[in-house]
Structure 1
Amino acid sequence: MSVLLKLTNVAVFVGDTCLLEPISLELKQGQPLTILGQTGSGKSLLAQAIMGLLPDTLSFQGDIEVFGKALTLEQRQALWGRDLVMLPQEPWHALDPLMKGINQVAEVYQHVQGKSQNDAQASAQQDLLDVGLADSAHKRPGQLSGGMAQRLAISAATAGGAHVILADEPTKGLDVSRRDGIVRLLQSRSIEGSLLTITHDVAIARQLGGSLLVMKQGRLVEQGDALDVLTNPQNHYTRELIAAEPKSWPDVSVALANKTTETVLVAENLAIERGGRTLFENVSFSINKGEVVGVVGDSGCGKSSLGDALLGLLPVSAGLVTRSNHTAKPYQWLKLYQDPPSAFTSSVSLGTLLKDLVDLHNIAQERIVPLMTRLNLPESILQRTCLDVSGGELQRFAILRALLLDPVFLFADEPTSRLDPITAKDVTNLLVELARETGCAVLMVSHDPDLVRKTCDTVITL
């Protein structure tokens, strides 16, 4: 069994501070390797070091061998696409917003594999059919849901036929059926090579099998056969990760203080169409003050569109939305975006964005630190931009920004899809607790029926 990728004492530093302690590993042909850990554990840093994508502010030490040869940064970069590929954690950073999806996949077949234009289009069409995007092949990324955009990015990244695939959180934001399909797709694309997957999803690590490395705060804490480690974990942190899967959560009590019968919003016989296709129809429900309503369904079924329609961001084709709270200010009807990068500018630091919010709405400064503590956000994050933090950290910062505005209605669109299970559990419970404490009505969209069932008062299935 040949070794396709070998790391020897690879470490990452910012100045003199070690962010990723020295780690060694081997990726063998036909044997998948999964790196499991919380947001901020150093998983993505390791992948960036392998690919040669570390920011200029970070330094790298150690040796990386690809196909049995020690390669420099420039030599590794020359392998991109055809031999070595990394699936991006955020599809919006990798897709051309002005190009139709099928063309983004086809150009890889044409320019990397050398296929004719007609053959490239045919191959791209088949790939999109395999991931459930055949009906959306001619849409641009902005017309797709977050989960659909993720599937498009994976199709484009793997079209070059690379033997070594690094998949950074490839299934986040996807419903269970789509998640399983993506795993099968990655496995099929890596038959002649191997797959290194970075994930915080224990179910994905279990499904992929092969070898498993568990990381925490830039350090390797456990490794071995994936099924052995997940069946009989030796490290306390590994056991904590497994216990944090939504299906293992205790039911959240709904009998809390500010959950009342005072109605905030009523939806009557709603129907929504997009692109000439009816997403859903005859949907009716109400949300009371302090209540948490969950919405589940396959990716692309209209979950996000429903929340946007309630906020007036998207027109309904039939039905009526009535807001009962007429004293609330417009900015107190809020949305937490599924893909946090779409809600932030990268031109200034997060601290500047937070200061602008505080100044604009006269928010008391003393409220910030306790909320940051509850969301496990270090003060140092305020010095960075949205491009310099992990997806999980950015999502928690988005939650911080929303909560500071005292929302009366919060549409939380996959609020934990970027979070590891431990943080997801804490953040979900925090959202529910704050809904009860403040009387905020919450519409929580999720691809995970276990999460919704454990935390929401009412569940709507689309």
Structure 2
Amino acid sequence: MSSEVLLAVKGLSVHIGSRPLLRDVSFSLRPGEVLTLLGESGAGKSLLAQAVMGNLPDVLRAGGEVSLLGAVSRADDARARRPRWGRSLALLPQEPSLALDPLMRIAPQLAETHELVRRLDVKAAEQQARVGLAAAGLADAARQYPWQLSGGMAQRAAATVACAGGARILLADEPTKGLDAHWRNQTVAMLQAVQRDGGCVVVITHDLRVAQALGGKLMVLRAGEVVEEGDARTILAHPQHVFTRQLVAADPARWSKRAPRLPGATLLHGRDLAKSYGENRLFDGVDLHLRAGERMVLQGPSGTGKSTLGKVLLGLLPADRGQVRRVAGLAPTAFQKLYQDPVASFAARVSLERTLRDVAKRHVCPWSTVLQRLNRLGVPEALLARRPSEVSGGELQRVALARVLTARPALLFADEPTSRLDPVSQQEAMAVLLDAVDECGAALLLVTHDDDLAAAVGQTFRRLQAEPGVSE
């Protein structure tokens, strides 16, 4: 292995005012090496990646040093590293919706990266874009806008754009969340290809299968501090720190199966449902029956219309064909959705407390009940003073769960509700969700790509298949 150090971080810290959010993190990576960051939601993993990039919000202050290909700069000197963005240093952020331009189609976005970063001419850039999208299973989505893609497709598109510049240092924040097993493995292979080509990778993930597959170095963060680090496979097999042991023990593969309830009266019946977007047929001839208290798991490859089917059942989208019958006599708010992308479901300029208080008032729910639920989800009350962009993805996902349960739904469509959570938070959040729906006898329609989670939670199962000729 080369002795050249591609990325070195020394004494990295992040503060908001006088309060530390990340403390004294140091590591170095050479060509072919990978560092995986595990830890609780809100531990500072994404802050670390943003600090290395030099892309922290103005209210945050970084300390320490960052060395890129031998060029050393202060962690708070963002200008020193910005010229390297895309060329030698690239970031795949946690939220694809924030990484892709909503006003540009996917193929032109990717071609623009090849043209501006790699200096290819227009024709060559367009050709490389076609090749990249085909490799990501997105050939049929080349002319679509980001908002027309499923969550998994948007994740793959963002990853393809992030890697297009050929940067030797790649920071990947939750690159496999919301992906089925096939595309999770493909993403791991993409990260390994960066290593084989002489680059290095920092991967933030909650998925222990990804950490195991990548191997290399592992660092575990809790409350902004490194609590354990070393060889990934050694730590995962024999964790030493009590929190690392909790993470490993909380993997969904180790969960006990939640005892099923006896289903009650019919809440919803969908018959012969079909939906297409343009020439892209998502699903056809779907029959689905949901009863009070039932926990149904909806699975299928990325892009097969799972989220769209949920919107049709809730009345948020019309079906092209078929009929949805919902039980009469329920409030208009009785059918609720927990969104896959929590950032897009919150008002950006409003504090989390204001949002939750408005929802509590609308549904006549005591504020003390909201706070009790947040406490069970591990969300401190002080966090509510912030805006959605000022908390981690996992923290926002837990707040979103507390918000939707405040409405006391009769049917909850939960679209990848724990995809941004570490295993410990994931287990706690699912326990809160299941307790809440059991208490009120609600039906749960759960979308997840995690087979272990599905097996532990589900009572009945439905799978959507890719239509012939549609990329998965």
Q: Do these two structures clear the TM 0.5 threshold for a shared fold by scoring above it? A: yes
Structure 2 stretches lacking a partner, 5+ long: 465-472
Distance of 1:102 and 1:248 partners within structure 2? 41
Distance of 1:158 and 1:235 partners within structure 2? 34
Residue 212 of structure 1 corresponds to 218
Q: 1:298 aligns with which of 277, 298, 301?
A: 301
The one-letter amino acid of 2:290's match is I
After superposition, residues 27-42 of structure 1 pair within 5 angstroms as 27-42=29-44
Residue 204 of structure 2 corresponds to 198
SS of residue matched to 2:65: strand
SS of residue matched to 1:78: helix
C-alpha displacement of 1:159: 0.7
Deviation digits for residues 386-423 of structure 1 (CA, Å, limit 9, x no counterpart)? 10011111111111111111111111011111111111
Residue 327 of structure 1 corresponds to 329
Check whether the contact 1:270–1:283 (CA below 8 A) recurs between aligned residues: yes
Residue 228 of structure 2 corresponds to 222
The one-letter amino acid of 2:29's match is L
C-alpha displacement of 1:332: 2.0
Matched, 1:254 2:256: no
Residue 180 of structure 1 corresponds to 185
Residue 54 of structure 1 corresponds to 56
C-alpha displacement of 1:179: 0.8
Instruction: Answer with 263-272 or 143-152: which moved more.
Output: 263-272
C-alpha displacement of 1:170: 0.9
After superposition, residues 13-412 of structure 1 pair within 5 angstroms as 13-71=15-73, 72-190=77-195, 191-255=197-261, 259-324=262-327, 326-412=328-414
Check whether the contact 2:357–2:367 (CA below 8 A) recurs between aligned residues: no
Show structure 1 runs of 4+ deviating over 6 A. Answer: none
Check whether the contact 2:412–2:443 (CA below 8 A) recurs between aligned residues: yes
State percent identity of aligned pairs. 43
C-alpha displacement of 1:221: 1.2
SS of residue matched to 2:84: coil
Check whether the contact 1:271–1:318 (CA below 8 A) recurs between aligned residues: yes
The one-letter amino acid of 1:201's match is D
Distance of 1:360 and 1:271 partners within structure 2? 34
Count of residue pairs brought into register by the alignment: 458
Residue 444 of structure 2 corresponds to 442
Check whether the contact 1:292–1:432 (CA below 8 A) recurs between aligned residues: no
Check whether the contact 2:363–2:406 (CA below 8 A) recurs between aligned residues: no
C-alpha displacement of 1:340: 0.6
SS of residue matched to 1:319: strand
SS of residue matched to 2:167: coil
The one-letter amino acid of 1:216's match is R
Distance of 2:339 and 2:364 partners within structure 1? 24
SS of residue matched to 2:6: strand
Q: Could you state the TM-score of these two structures normalised by the residue count of structure 1? A: 0.96
Distance of 1:361 and 1:295 partners within structure 2? 28
Distance of 1:377 and 1:232 partners within structure 2? 29
Distance of 1:394 and 1:106 partners within structure 2? 33
CA distance change for structure 1 residues 457 and 209 in 2, over 3 Å: closer, same or farther?
same
SS of residue matched to 2:462: strand
C-alpha displacement of 1:165: 0.5
SS of residue matched to 1:330: coil
Structure 1 stretches lacking a partner, 5+ long: none
Check whether the contact 2:92–2:173 (CA below 8 A) recurs between aligned residues: yes
Check whether the contact 1:36–1:213 (CA below 8 A) recurs between aligned residues: yes
The one-letter amino acid of 1:67's match is L
Instruction: Answer with 120-129 or 358-367: which moved more.
Output: 358-367
Check whether the contact 1:215–1:221 (CA below 8 A) recurs between aligned residues: yes
SS of residue matched to 2:247: helix
C-alpha displacement of 1:364: 2.1
The one-letter amino acid of 1:314's match is L
